[in-house]
Structure 1
């Protein structure tokens, strides 16, 4: 079995540069073929090289699920041939959408300062219930955690109250962990859906075990 770790753009912070859904993964142009193949094989998705307003940090700027895509105001995205989903621009000045929105196919946790208008757009585009909140006191919830349709892995400094809230709104098991040899912003080092995952190249075997347990890839006896 191939160990599911890799670099994108020669860095292990793969969640900054890429994002994924149940059906596709978006990576910046110039991503190496072996990285794209590893993502496709482990997540069982179509991998698309995209261009967005001359930015390579696709994972920080985009949040998507099976129903739609969110991108910053004034931005456009190219390379989505074959993906027939609505794309919405959020109007807020908080424009790193991947950093401030944590979502799966049913629920989203968002930066607590997002406007009501943006909340409505997120709900309509992604077809999710949207809640404001923090993880480990951090407002950048999109990088403080990873959510799939089977479970969540979040920053190990998340409080008991935050963990309980996440379990309530997502109605899924929630666990804590790290990536890339102790990085608490787990979303920066992890791409995952309900079918599989890949992590940054510096992620340890222990961390991979935590990921697999939290996201439902290990059957608990």
Structure 2
């Protein structure tokens, strides 16, 4: 686990997303950030845009089985992504996949405004049960939480019922924390898998300890 930043920001989870073997990364990433991902998470890095936008962590969600991407994705971008895993384009207005989906290899929690049709597509591409839910009463569950296949960290104002839902659906233990010196948007500040994590470089030592415990990176 190490501190990092990309594109001049500590919100690294907005600019990259990873599973156990692969990370999609903003074209703005410098060599140091790419090395951080490769070394800390043990992944191959692929530079991509989504609809011409560089915030790939907000627009793309994935696990080891598949990828969900914003419906704004362009044909050449989609072809590049599809070379690595099966992919679906989200048809809903709620198509910022990384913000609206919290997923690991056991389950997915999605924005409660997601349509029935899209919920089924998400479940199919990820190969897991997908359920609607909130975290801290907020619909953009992917931006609020960070998870891997061993644990999850979510904001301190998540309710006991929301925490239990995460435990049940993702089949992991849950720790509460903040990131980047008090931000509740852990998904925006962390890129993680079961091998390691990158964390925004404004994160305090206390936050780092809670995140390390929550993601079981020890």
Same fold (TM over 0.5): yes
Q: Describe the superposition over 1:60-90 as per-residue Cα deviations: whole angstroms up to 9, x where unpaired.
A: 0000111111112242326847943111101
Structure 1 runs, 4 residues or longer, greater than 4 Å off: none
Instruction: Please say if residues 28 and 54 of structure 2, whose CA atoms lie closer than 8 Å, have aligned partners that are also in contact.
Output: no
Cα gap change, 1:192 to 1:8, in 2 (>3 Å): same
Gaps of 5+ in 1: none
Q: Provide the residue aligned with 2:21 in structure 1.
A: 23
Partner of 2:120: 120
How far apart are residue 51 of structure 1 and its match?
Answer: 2.1
1:143 — aligned with what?
143
TM-score when normalising by structure 1:
0.94
1:211–1:29 Cα change, 3 Å: same
Larger helix share, 1 or 2? 2
Against the structure 1 CA distance between its residues 120 and 159, is the aligned structure 2 distance closer, same or farther, given a 3 Å change threshold?
same
The equivalent residue for 1:108 is 108
Q: Secondary structure at the match of 1:199?
A: strand
**Is there any run of 5+ residues in structure 2 with no aligned partner, and where?**
none
- 2:197: which partner in 1? 197
TM-score w.r.t. length of structure 2? 0.95
Deviates more, 1:82-91 or 1:160-169: 82-91
Match in the other structure for 1:156: 156
RMSD (Å) for aligned C-alpha atoms: 1.5
1-structure distance, mates of 2:82, 2:137: 39
Does residue 96 of structure 1 match 2:96?
yes
The residue that corresponds to 2:171 in the other structure is: 171
Aligned residue in 2 for 1:41: 39
d(CA) in 1 for partners of 2:84, 2:33: 25
